[in-house]
Amino acid sequence: MSSFDLDSYLQTQQERVENLLRARSDEMGVHVPPRLLESMRYSLLAGGKRLRPVLCLAFAEAVLKKSTVSRVVEDAACSLEFIHTYSLVHDDLPSMDDDDLRRGRPTNHKVYGEAMAILAGDSLLTDAFALVAGGPEPVRGLLCRELAVGAGSAGMVGGQVLDIAEDRPAHIDYITRMHRLKTGALIRAACRMGVLAAGGDAEELDRADTYGDAVGLAFQIADDILDVTGDASSLGKPVGADAAAGRFTFPAVLGLEESKQLAAQKVAQAIAAVQTLEPGDGPLAALARYSVERRS
């Protein structure tokens, strides 16, 4: 049993991220056309788990051995949520998943129209780089690279393309690669950026990398499992939505039990990777477990 109080930790960190996102989008919004800013903030401030910024903050705090972090770390955390939010806004578009609801609210394009949703996504994506590129040398260059590699054609967007490919094979290797890119690459970047923004060393970066890769995959397997076993009110979308869209999921290919075992194995790998960085029981181990034990 864990002695770490994850619920109260998550609540604190999510509020912290919420406040940071509000402040940063306020600051950046001074020269932005009001309707665009409104559309960006509609999706950016819609709640959610804030997993990527929370992981970024957790790694920075583990490196620094304290919970006060610099503005560089905060901006890195926010940039990850800017990127994640843009990907949701574009994924929901009629020509993509055509979703009407996101986190229980109408999707961006339902409220602001398709053109504005595309542009709000483009802005969130670009402004994520403005956020980290505004920081000090040399770390801002490192952070921009992590963000770009994690989010670009060989990362998150590449995974999205593998997901919508018509000829995709129902094979575990394909599905694993797809999710490693689609969800995993940005989660891995989040962990790495936390270490980099906090001035961590090469070994700490390596540990964050292993953890991020394992947690990213565990998180996605859990997502697929929740789609089969979860309930609509905590998910904020209909149960079975993914399967109904004909998507290939881990349970569909491996079966439910083997999927659960694989997720548990990934969680164990992640926890093992950070044992020197976080002796005893702390947020990193708890967040790894949370990636599969959550209910939404």
Q: Which two tokens stand for residue 206?
A: 């390596």
- CB-based contacts of 191: which residues, under 8 Å, 6+ apart? 55, 56, 59, 208, 209, 211, 212, 215
Confirm if 180 and 242 have CB atoms less than 8 A apart: no
Our CB check for its own copies shows the closer of 136 and 279 to be 136
Residue 77 CA from chain centroid, whole number: 10
Residue 167 CB, nearest approach to its own copies (Å): 9
Our CB check for its own copies shows the closer of 37 and 187 to be 37
Residue 249 CB, nearest approach to its own copies (Å): 19
User: How many whole angstroms separate alpha carbon 45 and alpha carbon 37?
Assistant: 11
Residue 213 CB, nearest approach to its own copies (Å): 15
Our CB check for its own copies shows the closer of 31 and 65 to be 31
Residue 133 CB, nearest approach to its own copies (Å): 4
Confirm if 190 and 212 have CB atoms less than 8 A apart: yes
Our CB check for its own copies shows the closer of 147 and 270 to be 147
Residue 21 CB, nearest approach to its own copies (Å): 14
Cis, peptide link before residue 34, omega less than 30° from 0 = no
Residues that bind its own copies (CB under 8 A): 28-33, 35-37, 40, 86, 90, 93, 95-96, 113-116, 118-119, 121-123, 125-127, 129-130, 132-135, 137-138, 140-141, 144-145, 147-149, 151-155, 157-158, 160-162, 164-165
Our CB check for its own copies shows the closer of 86 and 290 to be 86
User: How many whole angstroms separate alpha carbon 87 and alpha carbon 256?
Assistant: 28
N- to C-terminal Cα separation, the chain = 22
User: How many whole angstroms separate alpha carbon 284 and alpha carbon 61?
Assistant: 10
Confirm if 58 and 187 have CB atoms less than 8 A apart: no
Our CB check for its own copies shows the closer of 133 and 256 to be 133
Residue 219 CB, nearest approach to its own copies (Å): 21
Q: What residues does 101 pair with on adjacent strands?
A: 106
**Alpha-carbon separation of residue 279 from 263, 273, 291 (angstroms):** 23, 11, 20
